[in-house]
Amino acid sequence: MDFIIEGIRKAFHLIFTLDSEIFSIVLLSLRVSLTAVILASLLGVYLGFLMAVKDYWGKRFSVALVNTLLALPTVVIGLIVYSLVSRKRGPLGIFGLLYTPSAMIIGQFILAVPIIIALTHSAVQGIDKRVRNTALTLGATEAQSAWMVIKEARYAVLAAVITGFGRVIAEVGAAMMLGGNIKGSTRVMTTAIALESTKGEFGFAIALGIILLFVAFSINILLHYFQSKRV
Amino acid sequence: MDKLIFKVRNIKKVYNNKIVLDVHNLNFQEGKIYAIVGPNGSGKTTLLNILNLLEKADEGQIFFYDQEITNKSNSDILEIRRRITLVNQNPFLFNSTVYDNIAYGLKIRSISPKVQKSKIRSALNIVGLSDFEDRKANQLSGGEAQRVVIARALVIEPEVLFLDEPTANIDQKHIDVVERIIKKIKEEIKTTVIFSTHDLSQAYRLADEVISLLDGKIIKQVPENLLQGEIVEENGLKRFKTMGNIKFAIVSKKVGLAYISIDPRDIILSYEQFQSSARNSFLGKITKIIEQNHLVKLEIDISIPLVVIITRESFFEMNLNLGSKVYLTFKASAVKLY
């Protein structure tokens, strides 16, 4: 028991003294995950929107596929991206991405895209069909009416993006396999927690755990806020 | 003022192998108010949507002034779409304030915020909602929402304003308000207004010209008591079953879906049910009384509303009032089949 209490005491000490190593890890986590989610949102919101409003061949299949991808294990993403960016052997090896934050961003991007597509799809589907017609009758171009639909779905779309962020900030499999947990370069909160606890550095691990929980908590508060703004 | 703003030539629209609209020749003149009347499913909304370029006709031509707009793509007709606008039945308001809703059409036309402001003020003024600017759209009543939607349409100063059943889903108080607004639009802004309604008397009250639609075709005049339903056979006798599941005895050779009408002058009113050769007799309650010169027009609810016209003498002699319960009696042969 003592080591847990000691760990918690040390954790608060590290947090309140603004330990530089802890905070560089937190900042890297945020940078990697935010970049991944912003890129994933650009693609995911667009595709989710198209899937909701367009009629195309294979629509049901694509919806089923995206829903399946929601359950994609992070280690499988790690494996796929690893094999692609693996130096020397992988088809994208020449870019030298393995064990860099870029590789982690790619992994987290792949993780977040299906979530954002699926949630945007259902958000836009839930939007009244009259939005588009109303915009058109008021003189909107096709693009302007599409933008109005997204705007009407704004809270739900934001919730989709935040859910994607919550997923990637907390994942460990892809970050470990693609980043390699290199100190000062690719060590993020989750991989650091995994490593430090096996090393017996509980204070450090618990400090990161608390911050991660705090991030998760903030995300949920935001989500709740945006969901309550709907209707 | 007699320039033709819309010309419709041989328009046909088919849904699921059924012709829902079949209009040969229809003209709309600048600055007039047109009412398109007909029962539900007669093609009113389809006609409005086609004129509004929201839907394409399967055949035929449409001219806006002298420009053919039939098969233009959306971007080609953007300039024309921006000169006309439609207010939908069941109006939709964007999830923001009244002000932002009305501003939308101006914003997408890149009109400066300052000009927007004064235009929005005067549009709200016309519909009598001057102090509603900051109200949230989702907190308005149905009638208020309908007026905001009309303001949102007027603010872009359309050359043609289309209104699809503008009074279908609002209470009587707001119906009067909306009717006054339509009159005001004609008098003050001189916009061409084309609206649809299933209320025949409203059409004649407001419009310069009434266009009657039945089953997708233009007919001379929509009769009173026009009902849609099905002719069924029961014990060898033909019955017309209305949507409200009331059955009328009729004279018919065919069965299946049909329209019927009953001339309001052919219905006899009485307090007691009496024996006669007339096959139809229903108990109803008077819900509306309108005096028209030497005649009185009554709306009587027999679980569907029927219009009955009687003379003033009969009306006073029978001492009829709102809420009076009376029997309506008419012959099977008084039911006209379409």
Q: Which residue of B has its CA nearest to A145?
A: B108
pLDDT of residue B242: 87
The C-alpha atoms of residue A165 and residue A115 are separated, in whole angstroms, by 10
Our CA-based measurement puts residue A227 at a distance from the nearest CA of chain B, in whole angstroms, of 14
pLDDT of residue A230: 61
With a cut of 80, say whether residue B293 has pLDDT above it. no
How far out from the chain centre does Cα B37 lie?
5
Which residue among B54, B75, B94 places its CB closest to the CB of A152? B94
- Greater confidence (B138 vs B172) lies with B138
With a cut of 90, say whether residue B186 has pLDDT above it. no
pLDDT of residue B74: 64
pLDDT of residue A170: 93
- Count interface pairs A-B at CB distance under 8 A: 53
Cβ–Cβ contact B166 with A under 8 A: no
What are A131's two structure tokens? Answer: 């939005």
Supply the pTM of this predicted model.
0.71
Residue B146 CA neighbour count, 13 Å, CB half: 23
Which residue among B92, B94, B105 places its CB closest to the CB of A139? B105
Q: For chain B, what is the mean pLDDT?
A: 89
ipTM above 0.95, yes or no: no
Triad B95, B99, B102: Cα angle to 5°: 85
Our CA-based measurement puts residue B81 at a distance from the nearest CA of chain A, in whole angstroms, of 6
The C-alpha atoms of residue A176 and residue A190 are separated, in whole angstroms, by 9
Inter-chain touch B54–A137, beta carbons under 8 Å? yes
- Tens of pLDDT, residue by residue over B268-288, are 999 998 889 999 999 999 998
With a cut of 60, say whether residue B1 has pLDDT above it. no
pLDDT of residue A226: 83
Which residue among A134, A151, A231 places its CB closest to the CB of B92? A134
* Inter-residue contact A27 to A143 (CB < 8 Å): no
Q: Taken in order A172, A178, A182, A183, is the CA torsion positive or negative?
A: negative
The DSSP bridge pattern shows strands B33-37 and B209-214 to be parallel
What are B101's two structure tokens? Answer: 């809703």
pLDDT of residue B110: 92
Cβ-based contacts of B52 with chain A (< 8 Å): 137
DSSP letter assigned to residue A182: -
pLDDT of residue B71: 67
Cβ-based contacts of A128 with chain B (< 8 Å): 92
Cβ-based contacts of A136 with chain B (< 8 Å): 54, 81
Inter-chain touch B109–A134, beta carbons under 8 Å? no
Query: Block means of pLDDT (10 residues each) for chain A, length 231 residues?
Result: 85 89 94 97 95 92 94 94 90 90 96 97 91 92 91 91 94 93 93 91 91 91 82 48
Cβ–Cβ contact B104 with A under 8 A: yes
pLDDT of residue B173: 84
Which residue among A138, A148, A151 places its CB closest to the CB of B156? A138
What b/e sequence results for A195-207 when a residue is b if at least 16 CB atoms lie within 10 Å of its CB, and e otherwise?
bbbeeebbbbbbb
Q: Which residue blocks in chain B are alpha helix, DSSP H?
A: 44-51, 78-81, 98-107, 113-126, 142-154, 172-184, 200-206, 312-318
Cβ–Cβ contact B52 with A under 8 A: yes
Cβ–Cβ contact B139 with A under 8 A: no
Cβ-based contacts of A135 with chain B (< 8 Å): 104, 108
Inter-chain touch A139–B81, beta carbons under 8 Å? yes
User: Residue B324: what are its φ and ψ, rounded to 5°?
Assistant: -60, 140
The DSSP bridge pattern shows strands B160-164 and B335-337 to be unpaired
Which residue among A133, A141, A148 places its CB closest to the CB of B88? A133
Which residue among A137, A144, A152 places its CB closest to the CB of B86? A137
Domains of chain B in sequence order:
4-219 (3.40.50.300), 226-337 (2.40.50.100)
* Inter-residue contact A181 to A187 (CB < 8 Å): yes
With a cut of 90, say whether residue B101 has pLDDT above it. yes
User: What would the mean pLDDT of B181-203 be, rounded to a whole number?
Assistant: 87
Inter-chain touch A137–B108, beta carbons under 8 Å? no
Inter-chain touch A139–B78, beta carbons under 8 Å? yes
> For testing the chain A interface, which of B95, B97, B155, B164 should be mutated: the one with the most A CBs within 10 Å?
B95
- Tens of pLDDT, residue by residue over B102-157, are 999 999 999 999 999 999 999 999 999 999 999 999 899 888 999 999 999 999 99
Cβ-based contacts of A140 with chain B (< 8 Å): 108
DSSP H or E stretch at residue B261: strand B256-262
User: What would the mean pLDDT of B74-82 be, rounded to a whole number?
Assistant: 81
pLDDT of residue B262: 92
Which residue among B82, B85, B92 places its CB closest to the CB of A128? B92
User: How many beta carbons lie within 10 A of that of residue B188, not counting itself?
Assistant: 9
Inter-chain touch B92–A131, beta carbons under 8 Å? yes
Residue position matching structure tokens 């790690």: A78
Inter-chain touch B81–A136, beta carbons under 8 Å? yes
Cβ–Cβ contact B54 with A under 8 A: yes
